[in-house]
Amino acid sequence: MVDLHVAKEAARLRAIHGFKAPDALIVATGHVARVDHIITNDQAWKAKLGSQKSALAITLLSDFLDR
């Protein structure tokens, strides 16, 4: 269930960073819940949030692949 705080944060993320609605809701939930890391394989998240000084670290699964 999405509460008002998450919805407002998701709207802010969409407006500022251009996140798609589902992605904005996931990241907003992390912000509101004050998690330290979000683990994803979407490099766009890291690019969008890496430029801002966020307490939320984006960790890419691909960073841990042996190549």
Q: Report pLDDT digits (tens) over 9-44.
A: 999 999 999 999 999 999 999 999 999 889 999 988
Domains of the chain, residue spans: 4-64
Whole-angstrom distance, CA of residue 1 vs CA of residue 65: 33
pLDDT at 12: 94
Helix ranges restricted to H, 1-67: 4-17, 21-33, 43-50
Residue 52 has pLDDT above 70, yes or no: no
Listed in sequence order, the residues at least 6 apart from 30 whose beta carbon sits closer than 8 Å to its beta carbon are: 38, 56
Whole-angstrom distance, CA of residue 20 vs CA of residue 53: 21
